[in-house]
A and B are shown apart, each in its own frame.
Chain A
C-alpha cells in the first residue's frame, strides 16, 4: 500500500509555514558587529558543535527511525 508523500508531508509543510510567519517579525532586528562579543562565545556558535553532532547523527541513524537536526548529512554505514 503506497501513500502519497504530498498527504504525509502536510504537517511538515504547516510547521514550516508557521516557522516562517514567526521569523518574519524578527527580520528587522540588526545586531551591530560591536555588540557581538557574547554571540562569538563557543557555546553560542552552532558550528562549534559540528564534530559532536556528526557522531550523534550517526548513532541516531543506527538506533532511531528519524534523522536530521544535526546540521550535516551523515556518512553511510551498514550497521542499521
Chain B
C-alpha cells in the first residue's frame, strides 16, 4: 500500500505551486493556503478526501476571494452504494467525486457580505449550490447577527451497468416515466436552505452562539441501489418532499489560568418524515504549551425512526407506497470520542530560513464513532467495524467507524 495516496500527492503538489504563484502576486500575509486530507473508514467503505483551500485578500478584508478543490475517493463493497451495478457482484470498487468551490466575502464596517458557488460531480450525481450571506455587528461588535440562504440544484442518476447511467427520479416515480424524454425535471433535487445565526460575547471570557436552520427539499431523496437490502425486492421509495428544522446552541468559556476552554454544543432537529434528533457535543480545549493545543471531544447523538421505516423490512407494495432500506431512517444512537492536536508553528518560525512559517499550523484529528442500533446491526458495517471482539460478542447491534483529518495551513 502506498504511504501517501496518489490523489493526496497530486493535490499537495498543486497546492504548493498555487502558494508560490499567489505568494509572488500579492504582498506578504494577504492570504492563506490550507492543504488537508480527510479519512473515513468502515468495514465496507473507505473514504479518502484530499483537498486544498486558498483565500486571498485583495487588498485587505474589504474584499476576499477564496477557491477550493476536494477529491472524494470512495472505495466501497456495499451493494447499497452501487457495487452490484459497477462490478457485477458484491465486490469493492472505487468512485471519485470532484468538488470545486469559489467564494467571495467582504467586510465593510459593521457589515459582512458573502457568496459562494459549489460544483460537485461523480458518476451518478451532480450537485450545485449557490449561496449568499450577510451579517452585521452591533454594540461595538459584541453581537453579530448573520443570515444566509443557499439554493442547491442537484441532478440524480442511477448506474444500471458499468457504462449505463440513467436519470433517477425516486422510487415513487415509475422507471418508464423517468426515462421518458418528457420527464423534465423529475430527477432534479432542489433544496432551499435558510439559516440565522446570533453570536454574542456575553463576557470577556464567554461567547454564546445560537442558530436556526431550515431547509426545504423537493426531488428524489432515495437510493436507487438499495432495493437489494429490502428483502422482497421493492426499490427504496422515500417521499419527494422534506422540510427540516434544526436549532443549535454553543457556549465557549475560556479559563486562562487553567489554560482550558470549554466548548459545549447542542442541536435539536425535527423534520416532517418523523425524525427527531438530539446531538450533544462536548469539547475541551487544553493549551499544553504556548504553541501546542489539544482538544478532547465526546459527541452523543440519538434519533427517532422515520414514519415509513420498518425494522422487519417487510413492505407490501401498494400498501406501503413509501419504503426505506436506509439505516439512517432507523432509530439509533451513536457515541463519538475524539482527540485533536494543533501545533502552531510560530515557535520554529524564528529559526533562520523558517520565517515563512509564521502563522502556520499543523493539525491532526481522530474520532471513533460507535453506532448503537436498537434491533440489528447496520448494513453500513455488517461485521461490527472497529470494535473489540469481546464487546461485539455481547452486543450484536453495535458497529464502529473511524474518522480522521490531517491539515496544514500557512499564510502568505
Contact = CB atoms under 8 A, between A and B. Distances in A.
Contacts of A11: 268, 270, 276
Interface residues of A, number: 49
Given A8-B270, A78-B156, A79-B74, A71 B197 contact: yes
B405 interface: yes
Contacts of B198: 23
Interface string A4-43: 0100110110011001000100110111110111110111
B201 A38 contact: no
A69 B40 CA distance: 20
Interface in B353-412: 365, 369, 371, 380, 401, 403, 405, 407
A72 B149 CA distance: 10
B275 A44 contact: no
A15 B36 CA distance: 37
A44 B99 CA distance: 29
Given A69-B265, A76-B129, A36 B252 contact: no
Interface string A36-58: 11110111101000011001000
A30 to B, nearest CB: 5
B205 interface: yes
Contacts of B326: 80
A47 to B, nearest CB: 10
A30 B191 CA distance: 38
A36 B201 CA distance: 9
What bracket does the count of chain B residues touching chain A fall in?
35 or more
B210 interface: yes
Contacts of A44: 207, 252, 254, 261
B136 interface: no
Contacts of A77: 72, 97, 120, 122, 125, 127
A30 B270 contact: no
B280 to A, nearest CB: 11
Interface stretch (B10-18, B175-183, B238-246): B238-246
A33 B152 CA distance: 38
Nearest to B403: A59
19 contacts: A8-B243, A19-B247, A30-B140, A30-B142, A37-B204, A38-B254, A39-B254, A43-B252, A63-B371, A65-B306, A66-B277, A67-B215, A68-B213, A71-B211, A76-B120, A76-B152, A77-B127, A78-B156, A80-B326
Interface of B: 34, 36, 38, 40, 49, 53, 72, 74, 81, 97, 99, 101, 118, 120, 122, 124-129, 131, 139-143, 148, 150, 152, 154, 156, 189, 191, 193, 195, 197-205, 207-213, 215, 221, 223, 243-250, 252, 254, 256, 261, 263, 265, 267-277, 279, 285, 293, 295, 301, 303, 306-307, 326, 328-329, 334, 342, 365, 369, 371, 380, 401, 403, 405, 407
Interface of A: 1, 3, 5, 8-9, 11-12, 15-16, 19, 23, 26-27, 29-33, 35-39, 41-44, 46, 51-52, 55, 59, 62-69, 71-73, 75-80
Given A43-B252, A73-B191, 14 more contacts: A8-B271, A15-B268, A26-B208, A27-B143, A30-B140, A31-B202, A44-B254, A66-B275, A67-B269, A69-B213, A73-B148, A75-B120, A79-B81, A80-B328
